[in-house]
A and B are shown apart, each in its own frame.
Chain A
Amino acid sequence: AQSVAQPEDQVNVAEGNPLTVKCTYSVSGNPYLFWYVQYPNRGLQFLLKYITGDNLVKGSYGFEAEFNKSQTSFHLKKPSALVSDSALYFCAVFGYALNFGKGTSLLVTP
């Protein structure tokens, strides 16, 4: 079974600091990994994906993620957080559909 885990319910970061939102995966075969963001009362927006190739994936809004096969991780990162980045972030793995992690709430304080 394809699954992902997000170990943190909430991440707090000061504006301007780097941020990391963690995700680990458990798959058989090659993983198709995704990050989505959900702003309050909104749908899910695609940030980035890893299918194959370069382990550092760049996505929307200045986000990037690093695929690490040995640690089975796909952490989301941003060098300098903005208050407007505050939202709910989902890691997901694609099997026949997207299997989502439980979500991590990111709070960026001014």
Chain B
Amino acid sequence: DTAVSQTPKYLVTQMGNDKSIKCEQNLGHDTMYWYKQDSKKFLKIMFSYNNKELIINETVPNRFSPKSPDKAHLNLHINSLELGDSAVYFCASSRFGQQFFGPGTRLTVL
């Protein structure tokens, strides 16, 4: 069984569209995260949720809105997509600091 899963794996869309990426973990962890990896492979935290509550919101445009319906899920909704949003987005969950990452969603904005 996959510990942290993300859908879709690839997402190609036009500028201005709205899209969502879903994440689910079956590890029973309380904390989940979204990270962004840009074209230079830099990894940066975007959001963190603990038990469905937002605890970190880095300097991310408010076009990005995370939603956590329960502690096993953390979805990422992006409005009005821009070219610069093209990246790989990783979901992760953790307990005691060690994080388990999903396979990533490669978003390409045309």
- A50 → chain B closest CB, angstroms: 10
Please choose the segment from B63-71, B72-80, B92-100 that sits at the chain A interface, where 4 or more of its residues have CB less than 8 A away. B92-100
Cβ of A46 and Cβ of B48 under 8 Å apart? no
Main secondary structure of the interface of B (DSSP, over half): strand
Question: Judging by beta carbons under 8 Å apart, are B56 and A96 in contact?
Answer: yes
Q: Number of A-B pairs whose CB atoms are under 8 Å?
A: 51
Task: Give residues 65-110 of A contacting B (CB, 8 Å).
Answer: 88, 90, 94, 96-100, 102-103
Range for the number of chain B residues in contact with chain A: 20 to 34
Across the interface, name the chain B residue whose C-beta is closest to A33: B97
Beta-carbon contacts under 8 Å, A3-37 to B: 32, 34, 36
Cβ-defined partner of A97 (8 Å) among B42, B56, B100, B102: B56
How many positions in chain A have a CB within 8 Å of any CB in the partner chain?
Answer: 21
- Seen from chain B, the residues whose Cβ lies within 8 Å of a Cβ on chain A are 33, 35, 40-45, 48, 55-56, 90, 92, 96-104
